[in-house]
Amino acid sequence: MRLSSSAFTEGKNIPRKYTCQGDNVPPPLEFHDIPAKTVSLVLIMDDPDVPKTLRPDGMYDHWVVFNFLHSIADGVHGKNTAGQNKYTGPCPPDREHRYFFKLYALDTKLSLHAGATKKEVETAMRGHILAEAVLMGRYVKT
């Protein structure tokens, strides 16, 4: 399984349009080679480079979407670190950060409601992951 974007490539900069300094909309994502037995997909976007002075765990969850198959727009939005059930674009407070878009193919739909946290989603999908793909982009405010 592969995850790609027409807006940026692995390890490269996420365009400003998809950040807090732009339109703050999610970048286009494409899924490839989804396993045949996939019942649903999960997408999590997070930033592990947050200063520990701001967040002790050093992590910021930007986007949590689950229970979709063909289009992210059909998914259920979980709660991000900002407490919102939507995408929140990169907005690093201090330096360049890495943003990981993680796609999971599952053999089931998750019995969760909108607003589930990343931790709740990760717990619910344990034992149901058929395949995983990751796309990492970078961003620094200018």
The per-residue pLDDT for 39 is 98
DSSP class of residue 126 equals T
- One digit per residue, the tens of pLDDT, for the chain of length 142 reads 999 999 999 999 999 999 999 999 999 999 999 999 999 999 999 999 999 999 999 999 999 999 999 999 999 999 999 999 999 999 999 999 999 999 999 999 999 999 999 999 999 999 999 999 999 999 999 8
The per-residue pLDDT for 41 is 98
| Residue 108 to residues 34, 74, 92, 101, 105, Cα–Cα distance (Å) | 14, 16, 35, 21, 9
Of 67, 2, 11, 54, nearest in space to 32 by CA = 2
- Computed over its alpha carbons, how large is the radius of gyration of the chain? 14
Spatial separation of the C-alpha atoms in residues 78 and 120, rounded to whole Å: 9
Expressed as residue numbers, the domain containing 110 is 2-139
User: For the domain that residue 105 is a member of, what is the CATH number?
Assistant: 3.90.280.10
> How many domains does the chain contain in total?
1
